[in-house]
Structure 1
Amino acid sequence: MTIHLDHFIVSARDKVASARLLAELLGVPWAETTIGPFSAVYINDGLTLDFIDTDEDFPVEHFCFRVSDQKFDAILGRIQAAGIKYRSSVRGPMDMQVSTYLGGKGIYWNEPEGHQWEMLTVSYARQAG
């Protein structure tokens, strides 16, 4: 059997607000409460991001979503409509530009909890060969 990532727990100060915002931007379903202490964002049929409230310090995490050109444009439109600043490089300034690395499109943005989201149309995650 192939190994698939099933879910990831995302720490937050306000799990519901964080889950709702990401789901609305990506245009995917979410649940305010699920089994246990989570607010889940249903990324696809095999992956959820389970947001959990915490008062403890937590590291800023990086999550990347690969999408089609059509979905990229739709999500970027929602990001722009929400007034969220974005950038074309992982550590660069909020230049409100789209990267065209590897011939695709990509952006980065941070959500209120500090986590860094990335969206791209062409993956650069390739096994060395």
Structure 2
Amino acid sequence: MAIELNHIIVPAKDAKASAQFIADVLGIEAGAKWGPFYPVAVANGVTIDYMDDTRDFLAHHCAFLVTDEEFDAAFDRIKAAGIPFWADPHHEKPNEINHLFGGRGVYFDDPDGHAMEIITAPYA
């Protein structure tokens, strides 16, 4: 069997709201609560499992590979919701997208400051 990433646990001050936030941006459904987690499943079977955490935590980074059409739709939702976005992970190029590896990409933060990214071309 090939090794695959199955899920990642992301801490949040409000796990349900954070799961709904990323699901809304991506245009997918947030899953029902499962144990302490609010999962968001993507097409390749990986889930981002948000979990309530009242402690201070370091920000995570999640990048989502999307089609050009999915990028356009998600980017439209980001702009319509007034979510700040950047072309780079260090927030030095506001209100821009990047064109790395012949694709398009954009960074935005979720409600807990986790760096989210959508890209149309893989970096590897």
State if a TM-score over 0.5 links the two structures: yes
How far apart, CA to CA, are the structure 2 residues paired with 1:92 and 1:24?
Answer: 22
Aligned to 1:120: 119
Aligned partner letter, 1:13? K
How far apart, CA to CA, are the structure 2 residues paired with 1:6 and 1:102?
Answer: 26
Q: What's the secondary structure of 1:31's corresponding residue? A: coil
How far apart, CA to CA, are the structure 2 residues paired with 1:64 and 1:114?
Answer: 14
Q: TM-score, normalised by structure 1?
A: 0.91
Aligned to 1:3: 3
How far apart, CA to CA, are the structure 2 residues paired with 1:47 and 1:102?
Answer: 24
Q: 1:95 Cα deviation (Å)? A: 1.6
How far apart, CA to CA, are the structure 1 residues paired with 2:62 and 2:8?
Answer: 10
How far apart, CA to CA, are the structure 1 residues paired with 2:67 and 2:29?
Answer: 18
The runs of at least 4 consecutive aligned structure 1 residues that moved more than 6 Å come to none
Aligned partner letter, 1:27? G
How far apart, CA to CA, are the structure 2 residues paired with 1:64 and 1:31?
Answer: 19
Structure 1 residues not aligned, in runs of 5+:
none
How far apart, CA to CA, are the structure 2 residues paired with 1:92 and 1:33?
Answer: 32
Change (3 A) 1:106 1:70: same
How far apart, CA to CA, are the structure 1 residues paired with 2:58 and 2:85?
Answer: 20
Q: What's the secondary structure of 1:75's corresponding residue? A: helix
Q: Highest CA radius of gyration, 1 or 2?
A: 1
Contact map agreement 1:88 1:97 (CA 8 A) in 2: yes
Query: Is structure 2 residue 80 aligned with structure 1 residue 81?
Result: yes
Pairwise CA RMSD: 1.2
String of CA shifts for 1:36-81, please: whole Å, max 9, x gaps: 1111111225111111001111110111111111110010011111
How far apart, CA to CA, are the structure 2 residues paired with 1:102 and 1:90?
Answer: 16
Structure 2 residues not aligned, in runs of 5+:
none
Aligned partner letter, 2:78? I
Aligned partner letter, 1:25? V
Aligned residue pairs total 124
Q: What's the secondary structure of 2:49's corresponding residue? A: strand
How far apart, CA to CA, are the structure 2 residues paired with 1:115 and 1:7?
Answer: 16
Aligned to 2:97: 98
